[in-house]
Structure 1
């Protein structure tokens, strides 16, 4: 039987794909249209999700807070000016890296995570996967709200739809 956290991660990937499918149906300028929201554009929201996925993958692999910051800073610069298809490719690439990493670890094992302001915690990999999924869910909801503000329907990406599609 598949570990619950892997199932949730599969949901995360499925939900991301639903959002990208919806965005690809719309005029390209929609992703860069500025609005009053959590992020000023859908594209910036997508980049934030992607960069944060990288943060947590690197952290799960044991990279230091400083190294994670440097790597993600470089990735952030590389994402500047990228189109929706390139951002989508970045999501697919980091997903493959996550899946490869998951195949090499015990998901119930714990690892340390340090933050200069919050200290150090020991957490199971499965808890960090849950965090990655929750983070993605929150911002996919932002994107749906942003699309509605711009006069477009969002993508249906609730977990129950994933279960029905399975």
Structure 2
């Protein structure tokens, strides 16, 4: 495996795309339907994943915590009310930025400074693993929300990904 971080990130992209494809087959009103869950709607789960992915990309690219926080606040405002298709397009653009970045990087330490946690240095591969793990966690929220609404989720376990690419 030439670039383990890129390989793992591709799983994240695949899993998100499986969800987009699945949601397009369901009633469109589900995207913004208010639910009693960890997030108030499916669209807000995706907005959260996207915003956090974007903020970590900024951090990996050398932006400060404050710059990432400002970006997150701006994106939070931009995400309000957007369609499933627009969200899918935003994820696609961001994934191309990630892939281009990861193709050019060596795994190595990235300094991080957080106002509450202090300073540390974390390998790029660990940050990518965090991004992917965060997305996996919230895709589980999506499954619970769809079941609550009377629909099935979609399988995005890592092993399903491995079978799909063989």
TM-score range, shorter chain: over 0.9
Separation in 2 of the partners of 1:7 and 1:70? 29
- Show structure 2 runs of 5+ residues with no match: none
State whether residues 5 and 129 of structure 2, in contact with CA within 8 Å, keep that contact through their aligned partners in structure 1: yes
Distance 2:3 2:64 in 1: 27
Q: Give me the whole-angstrom Cα distance separating, in 1, the residues matched to 2:103 and 2:2.
A: 12
Residue 17 (str. 1) matches residue 17 (str. 2): yes
| Equivalent residue number for residue 98 of structure 2 | 98
Structure 1 residue matching 2:85: 3-state secondary structure: helix
Mapped partners of 1:141, 1:31: distance in 2: 16
SS of residue paired to 1:103: helix
Give the ranges of 4+ consecutive aligned residues of structure 1 lying more than 4 Å apart after TM superposition: none
Count the aligned residue pairs: 165
Cα distance, 1:3 vs. partner? 2.5
Deviations 1:19-43, CA, capped at 9 Å, x for gaps: 1111111111111111121101110
Q: Deviations over 1:34-73 (max 9, x none)?
A: 1121101110000000000001000001101111111221
Structure 1 match to 2:155: 156
Structure 1 residue 112 corresponds to structure 2 residue 120: no
Q: Distance in 2 between matches of 1:5 and 1:102?
A: 7
Distance 1:154 1:133 in 2: 19
Pairwise CA RMSD? 0.9
Match of 2:65 in 1: 65
TM-score of the superposed pair, with normalisation by structure 2: 0.96
SS in structure 2 at match of 1:123: strand
